[in-house]
């Protein structure tokens, strides 16, 4: 069996998780639910980037994962401040 | 050859943890149990997939970069989850109807969001109870 099939299987599992997270993002029902869903989407994006880097032998993509992790942390903190000041 | 199999196994393990985190986010009954499902499992899943990348490339520079990402995730994800959970509690996000005990009830002063030790039943300590679905999509 070709080993690349397993890499594609991992990519497909993460993509299915992305679909489920987007369902929660649309359904809500409250704003913190959506922020948690976006947080999970970012974690899944980091996984997709790492899988893509392995599959196509491109280690330069791992830098993108660093930047996405950094920006998502700042975004979550900003959303938390907004939700807490709103009430 | 053996190394590629190890990479594939670690990668599929990480992807499975991420899928479990997504199912938990979709199926859990209230915000706080959803956060408990996602923040731990998604961190472990992302860390395992990054570890698979480090094993696959097996160069010192890439391994260092992967370790930096994993340490950064382990530091920031709990902080972010705590801040979102705290803000959601002040926002009055409803707990699951099967919840038996809410240890924080009456301990947060709503005027300045400070934690105080003695529980009080005065209206100064009452968190406004939001109802399910108070946002724009439904």
Q: What 3-state DSSP class applies to B59?
A: coil
φ, ψ for residue B114, nearest 5 deg: -100, 145
Q: State the Cα–Cα distance between residues B83 and B77, nearest whole angstrom.
A: 10
B137 touches chain A (CB under 8 A): yes
Mean pLDDT, to the nearest integer, of B121-133? Answer: 63
Structure tokens at A73: 């942390």
Per the omega criterion (within 30 degrees of 0), is the bond before B8 cis?
no
Length of chain B: 138
ipTM score here? 0.90
CA A83 to chain centre: 22
Q: Show me where the domains of chain B are located.
A: 2-91
* A-B C-beta contacts closer than 8 Å: 194
Q: What is the DSSP letter of A61?
A: G
Beta strands in chain B (DSSP E): 108-109, 114-115
Does the pLDDT of residue B119 top 70, yes or no? no
pLDDT of residue B76: 93
- Choose the mutation target among A1, A3, A5, A14 for the interface with B, i.e. most B CBs under 10 Å: A14
Residue B106 has pLDDT above 90, yes or no: no
Residue B115 phi/psi, 5-degree rounding, is -90, 125
Q: Sort out which chain A residues have CB atoms less than 8 A from B43's CB and list them.
A: 43
> Which stretches in chain A have pLDDT values below 70?
1, 87
3-class DSSP state for residue A7?
helix
Residue labelled with tokens 């899928």: B19
Split at pLDDT 50, 70, 90, the class of B84 is: very high
Q: Is the pLDDT of residue B138 over 60?
A: no
C-alpha angle B74-B75-B79 in degrees, rounded to nearest 5: 110
Task: Say what the pLDDT of residue B132 is.
Answer: 54
Min Cα distance B75 → chain A (Å) is 10
Chain B hits for A21, CB-CB cut-off 8 Å, are: 22, 25-26
The per-residue pLDDT for range B17-69, each reduced to its tens digit, is: 999 999 999 998 889 999 999 999 999 999 999 999 999 998 999 999 999 99
CB atoms within 10 A of CB B51: 20
**Statement: residue B118 has pLDDT above 90:** no
């Amino acid at each position: 069996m070709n080993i690349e099939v397993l890499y594609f299987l991992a990519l497909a599992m993460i993509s299915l998780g992305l679909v489920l997270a987007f369902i929660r993002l649309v359904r809500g029902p409250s704003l913190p639910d959506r922020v948690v869903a976006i947080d999970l989407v970012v974690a899944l994006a980091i996984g997709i980037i790492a899988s893509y880097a392995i599959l196509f032998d491109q280690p330069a993509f791992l830098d993108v994962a660093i930047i996405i992790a950094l920006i998502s942390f700042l975004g979550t903190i900003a959303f938390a401040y907004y939700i807490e000041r709103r009430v | 050859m053996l190394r590629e199999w190890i990479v594939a196994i670690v990668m599929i393990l990480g992807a499975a943890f991420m899928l479990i985190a997504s199912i938990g986010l979709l199926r859990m009954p209230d915000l706080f149990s959803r956060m408990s499902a996602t923040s731990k499992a998604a961190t472990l899943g992302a860390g395992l997939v990054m570890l698979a990348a480090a094993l696959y490339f097996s160069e010192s520079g890439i391994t260092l970069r992967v370790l930096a990402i994993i340490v950064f995730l382990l530091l920031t994800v709990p902080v972010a989850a705590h801040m979102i959970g705290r803000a959601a509690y002040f926002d009055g996000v409803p707990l699951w109807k099967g919840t038996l005990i809410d240890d924080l009830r009456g301990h947060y002063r709503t005027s300045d969001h400070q934690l105080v030790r003695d529980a009080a039943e005065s209206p100064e300590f009452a968190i406004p109870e939001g109802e399910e679905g108070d946002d724009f999509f439904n």
